[in-house]
Structure 1
Amino acid sequence: MTHSNTAAARALADAMTREQQVGLLLHPIIIIDNDGDPDASSGFGGPTLRQLIEDHGIRFFCLGSIPDPAATSRVLNRLQDIARGSGSRLPLVFSTDPRHSFMQNDGAAHRAAGVSQWPENLGLGAIGDTELVRTYGNILRKDYLAMGIRMALHPQVDLTTEPRWARQAQSFGADPARTTELLLAFLEGLQGPALGPEGIAATVKHFPGGGPQLGGEDPHFPYGREQVYPGGAFGEHLAPFRAAIEAGAAAIMPYYGMPVDLTVDGEDIEPVGFAFNRQIITNLLREKLGYDGVVLSDFGLVTDIEIGGKPFPACAWGVEHLSPLERVGRLFNAGVDQLGGELDAPLILRAVAEGLVSPERVKVSATRLVKLMLDLGLIDNETDTRSSAALLPLPQDAFLGKQAQARAVTVLTNGSDDLPVLPLARPRKVHLVNLSEEALPEGWSAVDADTAEVAIVRVSAPYEHRDRYFLEAGMQQGSLDFPEEEVERIAALGRRLPTILVVTLNRPAILTPLVDAVDALLVEFGIADDILLEVLTGERAAEGRLPFELPRSMAAIEASNPDVANDTADPLFPAGWGLSLSSRNPKLNKAGAQ
């Protein structure tokens, strides 16, 4: 952060009306389509985009569903014109959750469309290549710039210490040192050495580490609000954020969770959600850790809503009894600068009018947000990016993404040392389960189990389907045990013919009843069918190492400490486990090959 930008931001904020300052403190989600009609609803039945920009003075928007990159760039440029011609004349800052992987979860990540496709961050953790992660961050930087997106609501650096937790896919794994190393490489690629006109503002989340959820439940929902530290490992979860602050992370997002029985530096921490917690945001993050960037709250902390007929109560854990007005007061007085997912500017103005938030406090946050715009070069630098967006995805980026998908595959078992099953040689008759036969190599054929020489089965890690609340159906929570009937189907196939089992891991799974039922067992973290089959047939190399342990049983998980990494007794496979599977086609392991 340059002193000149700080002074300039203060001057600009001072010149703004109170209403314009308050508009900067909101960061709602919007949905855009190919038409990009500014007079259409912004999504979820809310005000129009023009109303949010002109009447509410909002300048930060999180993009939900978007069209292809070229259309997105065109629409965002049109909205920028509206912003620069109204109110404060400040530009818009568009943000996004991850968009370059496989998961589609409206509350966490978007499946790649129009950009190169990579494994989830867990897969990058499995590879453990810092230069690859730096390159990945740089690819995202260029893609976001081309579309007109200037803020990333990632990376996620929560340690995956509770195997049941639903939000592990976008983390790098359980180890704080490895997570920190990969985080720093990603920040360098995304933001650059110092944030500037060619950089993307990173939002490092979820402070102070969201992994140790009680029972692994998700705090989007009332039953998952408690975060616990029975192993005393709070400092380990904090470690990546210390590094992010030192590296100049543009923004930090606190988690929803509410700490229970937590003591930090001899002080008992109030059991309220982290964003509402002044001890965590002001005393720890601001004062002890010295962070003066933007603190963006996670989304949906103030207003109870209903979407698609399903309730979505505000994640105001520990302060549920407070009114929305009082919650606003708690958030800003705790040290938050911007309210994720909220668009009610009059509510903040009322909080100021009634003395719950001081005008000075509003100006402090408005100044930080204007400074972020200045650091990004948005105020003095207008760039039309439509031509570069039309070129996405770049062929070399698509190649690297496919290479990473393959490299992240982690081989757990492979026949015996004397008689490995993989790679599969020569054309075969294959029985496929949950794989497209169109992805088979030339000369191979898909047949039924009665005539097959080998079976390849692909399954996803198990979870308990829940669908009471909005977003709940997309969160993979609950038991890690496979249903008995699925175990028996796979085991029955394994008794009939050689069987290769591939498990997609968005979090760990209990593989104990399956490990001896199949001839080879692999896990992956996001991979296309054709790339997976190229791994199995030796066209591409697999080199992944588990970014977390795979517990032996649910009982072992329940007896472990949710805040301590790799803490279950006698894991089936320890963290770092993985057998090498080299490629017979070295040219596919060279960057730039087609």
Structure 2
Amino acid sequence: MLYLSMKKNLNLPVALCLLGASCLIVLGAMTAGSAVTLLKKQPAADSSGIVLVKNANGPTLGYSTSSGIKILTVDGLSFKDLNKNGKLDKYEDWRLPVDDRAKDLAAQMSVGQIAGLMLYSVHQAIPALAGPFGRGTYNGKLFKDGGIDPAWVTDQQKEFLIKDNLRHVLVTTVQSPEVAAKWNNNVQALVEGTGLGIPANNSSDPRHSAFSGVEYTAGAGGKISQWPDQLGLAATFDPAVTEQFGSIAAKEYRALGISTALSPQIDLGSEPRWVRINGTFGEDPQLAADMARAYVDGFQTSTGSNEIKDGWGFNSVNAMMKHWPGGGPEEGGRDAHYAYGKYAVYPGNNFDEHLVSFIDGALKLKGKTKMAAAVMPYYTISYGRDVKNKENDGNSYSKYLITDLLREKYGYDGVVCTDWLVTADEAKTPDVFLAGKSWGMENKTVAERHYKILMAGVDQFGGNNDAGPVIEAYNMGIKEHGEPFMHVRFVQSAVRLLRNIFRVGLFENPYLDVENSKETVGKPEFMTAGYNAQLKSVVMLKNQGNVLPIQKGKTVYIPKKYVAPNKSIFGDVTPEKWEDAVKPELLKKYFNVTDDPAKADYAIVFVNSPNGGAGYDFEDTKKGGNGYFPISLQYGKYTATEAREHSIAAGDPTEPGITNRSYKNKSFMAANAMDLKIIEDTRMAMKGKPVIVTIAVSKPLVPAEFERDANGIVASFGVQNQAILDILSGAAEPSGLLPFQMPANMQTVELQAEDIPHDMLCYTDADGHTYDFGFGMNWKGVINDSRTARYVNRVAKPVISIKGGTVAIASTTAGAKVYYTTNGTTPAFVKENEYSKPFKAAKGSTIKAIAKVYGVDNSSMAEFKAGE
């Protein structure tokens, strides 16, 4: 790439002839006035058809010759004539404030163009897949048919980009950074030449998770930097690590053409059975808030020459925090992607704590961007939380939650985007993943759902490629409120959506340097930072007799790993299999290895958290049942004798007549119960020699089943096996802390409240260590440092005392209120449970007490049995 500085006396056409076909034009002061001039000879393009024009005192402009746009000059500065009218419109003037530009452009847009801007595409793989999820064709052919460039734009993408004016594309898998960059350039060239020249704002769900079998080599690059799962970031208890992740991930995203992250997931993980707890920052509101703030600051902040204004710039990625107002308190742990998990419940009356990670975290940044650019409500019906309209509809349909609470009470004017498919029709049974999730609005039309969402204050529809229903909703609004009202409403959303595209510089240059993308994504220093974070996230739970680290030269035995049969969301069935837990070639770099336990000094058993089911089985309904089952956090058979007699919420059109979702007295065994047997068999085979259990943790689990069979226990949260081996061998020291409680048994899981964190009886091991939130060990023993001082026992556990049958409860935290029960259940934070004075307790009654500071946190559970 050649750089040419254009000064007053340099003739532009001559300079272009000198440069030839590939150039970067640098424009300085060329005219004294403010006249708008269309360059008579436009700059030449590089081999891909992309032209770069550098302003001496402004941003570099990028455009494609195929788009048909031209360059305007004003006062010697260059601007893109995106609407091709030969004039410099406000939205084309990069010198103006973002809001001025967004308002000008929104005012020029038609209803159809704004409706397209409100769409967010279904998942798009690059190149397109042949299966049912993100299927795409190229001139009618599938990619697998051959002869197709993987960076081409699909037929379906062309249709929704041109016909439906869609500009927000959700990208899933990409073949390589090179292909991603070329595809981005092809998409941007296509939309740049259409209508008003609005660029595509491509997005991604999290894509930096580590793969267990991949080996890290210092100084080597990779496909993309690999970091622990979000729970693993939480386990570091270090927001600086999370901010570093955000900053690095943003640079890699921008190199892939991604400018919006559908993250972070900042739901409070207060319900231990919920399958999506692995994507959260754990169960503590203050830790979650600090991590959310760090994550968004890292993603959104540009510095130095990459900053455009107020921290936003060419390295910035819009962060979409999710899921408002917290998707964690799913009844029974069942997930709201399915009709059987549509209800979030609040038996503890603890709604306020679920907002802390939003209002004190992602909406209260330390950086100059101030707050997360976008928010996504969850699928759930936040049951009984609409205190104004008394509606029980999905969160995206709730005007109370979106407008009254988020926008008006908390002052949020960013983009609100629904979760995917909330406006589509649901399936015929409650257990279908690839179907609509229009909870509470199942019996309305698709257009009526769009209208309800618009009136709730939402700006965008996730997973909808079709502008038709949005325009229908607009016309419904005209009938009810008149066209001036609906026009203002549409423009309001358009400004919010455009703001996020302007702030990251896409209007000036949405194009990527392919070679730079290849060098940036997975560069060695990014890989090293990710691997170091993995090491910091590993939690050592047990180290009996200082059995760890394993001494150099020792011989280890590692049993095969059992992979349970699995049925995917598409219905594909994977049979059970046995495989190496760790690649032998990697293992031999650390230890001597044997297949004979008798010859081993140590055994290392690799297992996964218990796969305790989803809480529903449609086959049960064919036998006269209601379909509902317990979700288990243990490997062995579990019978839910302590479950609720009646569910808090129930009801869905797919299950007429079912008004109670209770699973009381039903049983379930984990699909991977074999993992427990492997631990037990290994213990027997080792005949008293040390057994180390390393668990890939995706949610809390009951350690009581296996703890006494293990001399050492290490928990990981989405890391490479190599990181675990570095810990076990002593190459690195464990420093991670538990981001949630580990329950003593399933009884305490059933008795806890879905919406209250820290409310379980935690497991205590043979060494007397309790696996509570914030517990972890290093080589010296239990960790007590600045991290535990900040986050653990922020609200102190109440002290229960009894004398002569009279119970007194005390809190040592200023401003805390104490709530209690005498029947062994978690106390709800309601007036009738509030402690005010000593009381009499019947012998044998179980007293539970929690201290709470509103809007901050609550303590862990204090438990006392009267008469003991």
Q: TM-score, normalised by structure 1?
A: 0.89
> Are positions 1:74 and 2:196 aligned together?
no
Counterparts in 2 of 1:344 and 1:468: CA distance versus 1, 3 Å: farther
Determine if contact 2:743/2:762 at 8 Å carries over to the other structure. Answer: yes
Q: How does 1:407-418 map to 2 (within 5 A)?
A: 407-415=536-544
Determine the structure 1 residue equivalent to 2:384. 261
> Are positions 1:436 and 2:589 aligned together?
no
Determine the structure 2 residue equivalent to 1:538. 730
Determine if contact 1:304/1:312 at 8 Å carries over to the other structure. Answer: no
Q: CA RMSD in A?
A: 2.7
Displacement after TM superposition at 1:61 (Å): 0.6
The structure 1 residue matched to 2:692, chosen from 480, 500, 510, is 500
Counterparts in 2 of 1:539 and 1:311: CA distance versus 1, 3 Å: closer
Determine if contact 2:228/2:537 at 8 Å carries over to the other structure. Answer: yes
Determine the structure 2 residue equivalent to 1:101. 209
The structure 1 residue matched to 2:281, chosen from 172, 196, 221, is 172
Determine the structure 2 residue equivalent to 1:109. none
Determine if contact 1:42/1:48 at 8 Å carries over to the other structure. Answer: no
Q: Which runs of 5+ in 1 are unaligned?
A: 105-111, 470-476, 584-594
Greater mean alpha carbon deviation, residues 253-262 or residues 428-437: 428-437
Higher relative contact order, chain-length normalized (CA < 8 Å, sep 6+)? 1
Determine the structure 2 residue equivalent to 1:565. 757
Counterparts in 2 of 1:180 and 1:525: CA distance versus 1, 3 Å: same
Q: How does 1:207-246 map to 2 (within 5 A)?
A: 207-243=324-360, 244-246=362-364
Determine if contact 2:245/2:295 at 8 Å carries over to the other structure. Answer: yes
Determine the structure 1 residue equivalent to 2:623. none
Q: How does 1:268-287 map to 2 (within 5 A)?
A: 269-287=390-408
Counterparts in 2 of 1:488 and 1:384: CA distance versus 1, 3 Å: closer
The structure 2 residue matched to 1:452, chosen from 596, 600, 624, is 600
Q: Deviations over 1:298-355 (max 9, x none)?
A: 111011378xx96633111111111111111111111110001111211111222233
For the residues of structure 1 that align with 2:758 and 2:778, how far apart are their CA atoms?
A: 22
Determine the structure 2 residue equivalent to 1:592. none
For the residues of structure 2 that align with 1:542 and 1:41, how far apart are their CA atoms?
A: 52
Greater mean alpha carbon deviation, residues 82-91 or residues 564-573: 564-573
Determine the structure 2 residue equivalent to 1:249. 372
Determine if contact 1:148/1:385 at 8 Å carries over to the other structure. Answer: no
Q: Provide the identity percentage.
A: 31
Determine if contact 1:38/1:79 at 8 Å carries over to the other structure. Answer: no
Determine the structure 2 residue equivalent to 1:348. 470
Displacement after TM superposition at 1:224 (Å): 0.4
Matched to 1:461, the amino acid is S
Matched to 1:245, the amino acid is L
Q: How does 1:352-501 map to 2 (within 5 A)?
A: 352-355=474-477, 358-391=486-519, 392-415=521-544, 419-433=545-559, 434-442=581-589, 444-465=592-613, 478-483=631-636, 485-497=674-686, 498-501=690-693
Determine the structure 2 residue equivalent to 1:576. 774
Determine if contact 1:41/1:48 at 8 Å carries over to the other structure. Answer: no
Q: Deviations over 1:534-555 (max 9, x none)?
A: 2101111211110000011121
Q: Which runs of 5+ in 2 are unaligned?
A: 1-94, 129-135, 144-153, 213-220, 302-309, 366-370, 481-485, 560-580, 619-629, 637-672, 765-770, 782-868
Displacement after TM superposition at 1:382 (Å): 3.8
SS at match of 2:611: coil
Matched to 1:421, the amino acid is V
Determine if contact 1:430/1:454 at 8 Å carries over to the other structure. Answer: yes
Determine if contact 1:40/1:48 at 8 Å carries over to the other structure. Answer: no
Determine the structure 1 residue equivalent to 2:191. 83
Counterparts in 2 of 1:188 and 1:180: CA distance versus 1, 3 Å: same
For the residues of structure 1 that align with 2:264 and 2:491, how far apart are their CA atoms?
A: 28
Counterparts in 2 of 1:62 and 1:452: CA distance versus 1, 3 Å: same
Q: Which has the higher strand share?
A: 2
SS at match of 2:113: helix
Greater mean alpha carbon deviation, residues 128-137 or residues 563-572: 563-572
Determine if contact 1:20/1:88 at 8 Å carries over to the other structure. Answer: no
Displacement after TM superposition at 1:103 (Å): 7.6
Greater mean alpha carbon deviation, residues 63-72 or residues 374-383: 374-383
SS at match of 1:65: strand
The structure 1 residue matched to 2:296, chosen from 184, 187, 193, is 187
The structure 2 residue matched to 1:27, chosen from 120, 135, 139, is 120
Displacement after TM superposition at 1:208 (Å): 0.9
Determine if contact 1:503/1:523 at 8 Å carries over to the other structure. Answer: yes
Greater mean alpha carbon deviation, residues 459-468 or residues 153-162: 459-468
For the residues of structure 2 that align with 1:556 and 1:298, how far apart are their CA atoms?
A: 32
Displacement after TM superposition at 1:235 (Å): 1.0
Determine the structure 1 residue equivalent to 2:54. none
For the residues of structure 1 that align with 2:141 and 2:400, how far apart are their CA atoms?
A: 39
For the residues of structure 2 that align with 1:253 and 1:79, how far apart are their CA atoms?
A: 25
Displacement after TM superposition at 1:38 (Å): 6.4
Determine if contact 1:494/1:519 at 8 Å carries over to the other structure. Answer: no
For the residues of structure 2 that align with 1:39 and 1:364, how far apart are their CA atoms?
A: 37
Aligned residues: 560
For the residues of structure 1 that align with 2:505 and 2:425, how far apart are their CA atoms?
A: 36
Displacement after TM superposition at 1:37 (Å): 7.6
Matched to 1:513, the amino acid is E
Q: TM-score, normalised by structure 2?
A: 0.61
Determine if contact 1:228/1:260 at 8 Å carries over to the other structure. Answer: yes
Q: Deviations over 1:226-250 (max 9, x none)?
A: 1111112211110111132233210
Matched to 2:159, the amino acid is Q
Q: Deviations over 1:371-391 (max 9, x none)?
A: 211112211234423222112
Matched to 1:494, the amino acid is R
Counterparts in 2 of 1:26 and 1:103: CA distance versus 1, 3 Å: farther
The structure 2 residue matched to 1:116, chosen from 225, 245, 251, is 225
> Are positions 1:332 and 2:454 aligned together?
yes
SS at match of 1:167: helix
Q: Deviations over 1:91-112 (max 9, x none)?
A: 00000000101489xxxxxxx9
Q: Deviations over 1:549-581 (max 9, x none)?
A: 001112111101111111112444110111114
For the residues of structure 2 that align with 1:3 and 1:185, how far apart are their CA atoms?
A: 29
For the residues of structure 2 that align with 1:530 and 1:335, how far apart are their CA atoms?
A: 47
Determine if contact 1:147/1:385 at 8 Å carries over to the other structure. Answer: no
Q: Which has the higher helix share?
A: 1
Determine the structure 1 residue equivalent to 2:857. none
